């Protein structure tokens, strides 16, 4: 259905948004996507003229945390309109139809809008028990994923479970759970939006990007959009100056904690976690975990449930933390260490190192902690 230009104007008016505010939003989005401001005009044009694409949201081994995040879209207000521009033809948590009427709606959308719809997958996909660890309408999750993602113009794996297997895939992975890349190899235009849950602002930005440019944004080696996962938490942290100055929280509630010192010693995983939390924050920019005094747990990274735990143990392998080191040396040394860790493939070696450490720590008791059939190769581009 071809939409007239006036449609967006009405949508905006209904939300009390002037055209000027809308263009401002487009500028903000352009900025979130790290594009020149001049692109804002083309974003506006693309959104206004696009027909309403169908979105099919599948939930498998999930907690609906990403669905809830989706419901929190708040900044700017017009982001809601951008989401309104989609036709959400299937989403179990919000749709009115149930049972076979719901499954009919899915089948119809898949058939009628083949190669045009966007699939969103929330939750991991179990491959054990012949698919019986997750069924919807009597069908195994993996069969539904193959069909729906197979006909999608693009698939968004939202949240760490869908992107990398997440919590169900944590050792010993009792259900042989996989992320989309591994469960349904060769899905066209797969984009991972990990984090537990994913921040809705990044989903919004991704959708705008896709509608504007009709293409997938540049991705990192874990298929994460660079505009949201290009820099580490540590690089943009508001407490970075305290890290550099060697000022750390030592005990919960101590003066350093109250003053907002660095949470590195309390276990913060910000140095090895790539996401834009410090920039966009959460719930309409209200706050973020480090802002409320708790360390980052690394939730946007693959296998963080195994590789970032114990959560309250500070990162290892970063020089400058030995006994007898002065506070200033700690700060300077750590900066060098982190910089080195971030050199090409440094992060990968860091994870391997962590895994080795992990296995030594857990010992034979967790012998089944073998990270199992997770085809790491598929997760990397």
Min dist CB 128 to another protein, Å, is 5
* Smallest separation, CB 131 to another protein (Å): 5
Q: Name which of 273 and 342 has its Cβ closer to another protein.
A: 273
- Terminal alpha carbon distance of the chain: 36
Q: How far is the CB of 55 from another protein (least distance, A)?
A: 8
CB of 152 to another protein, least distance (A): 17
Of 238, 241, 249, 242, nearest in space to 285 by CA: 238
Least Cβ distance, residue 40 to another protein (angstroms):
25
- Residue whose CB is less far from another protein, 39 or 54: 54
Tokens of 339: 């910089």
Query: Do 83 and 155 form a contact (C-beta atoms < 8 A)?
Result: no
State the DSSP string of 76-91.
STHHHHHHHTSEEEEE
Q: Give the DSSP letter of residue 236.
A: H
Residue closer to another protein (CB basis): 69 or 232 = 69
Q: Are 3 and 52 in contact (CB under 8 A)?
A: yes
Of residues 11 and 155, the one with the C-beta less far from another protein: 11
Closest to 290 (Cα-Cα) out of 261, 247, 320, 250: 261
Smallest distance from the beta carbon of 117 to another protein, in angstroms? 12
What number of CA atoms fall less than 13 Å from residue 334's CA on the CB side?
28
Strand (E) or helix (H) holding 157: strand 154-158
Q: Which is nearer to another protein, 71 or 327 (CB)?
A: 71
Q: Return d(Cα 167, Cα 177) in angstroms, integer.
A: 9
């Amino acid at each position: 259905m071809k939409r007239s230009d006036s449609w967006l104007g009405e949508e905006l008016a209904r939300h009390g948004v002037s055209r000027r505010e809308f263009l401002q939003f487009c500028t903000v989005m352009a900025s979130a996507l790290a594009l020149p401001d001049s692109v804002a005009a083309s974003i506006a044009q693309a959104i206004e003229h696009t027909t309403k694409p169908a979105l099919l949201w599948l939930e498998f081994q999930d907690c609906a945390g990403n669905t809830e995040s989706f419901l929190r879209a708040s900044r700017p207000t017009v982001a809601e309109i951008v989401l309104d521009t989609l036709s959400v033809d299937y989403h179990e948590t919000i749709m009115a139809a149930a049972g076979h009427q719901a499954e009919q709606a899915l089948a119809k959308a898949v058939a009628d809008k083949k190669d045009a719809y966007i699939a969103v997958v929330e939750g991991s996909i179990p491959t054990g028990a012949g698919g019986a660890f997750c069924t919807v309408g009597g069908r195994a999750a993996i069969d539904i994923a193959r069909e729906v993602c197979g006909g999608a113009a693009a698939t968004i794996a939202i949240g760490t479970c869908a992107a990398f297997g997440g919590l169900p895939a944590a050792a010993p992975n009792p259900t042989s759970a996989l992320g989309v890349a591994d469960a349904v190899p060769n899905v066209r235009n797969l984009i991972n939006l990990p984090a537990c849950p994913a921040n809705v602002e990044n989903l919004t930005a991704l959708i705008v990007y896709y509608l504007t440019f009709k293409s997938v944004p540049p991705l990192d080696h874990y298929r994460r959009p660079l505009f949201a996962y290009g820099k580490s938490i540590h690089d943009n942290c508001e407490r970075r100056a305290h890290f550099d100055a060697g000022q750390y929280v030592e005990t919960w509630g101590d003066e350093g904690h109250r003053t907002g010192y660095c949470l590195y010693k309390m276990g913060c995983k910000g140095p090895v976690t790539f996401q834009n939390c410090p920039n966009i924050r959460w719930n309409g920019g209200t706050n973020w975990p480090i802002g409320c005094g708790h360390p980052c747990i690394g939730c946007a990274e693959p296998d963080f449930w195994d590789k970032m735990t114990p959560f309250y143990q500070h990162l290892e392998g970063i020089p400058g933390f030995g006994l007898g080191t002065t506070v200033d040396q700690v700060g300077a040394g750590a900066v060098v260490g982190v910089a080195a860790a971030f050199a090409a493939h440094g992060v990968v070696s860091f994870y391997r190192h962590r895994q080795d450490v992990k296995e030594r720590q857990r010992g034979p008791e967790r012998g089944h902690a073998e990270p199992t059939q997770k085809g790491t190769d598929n997760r990397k581009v």
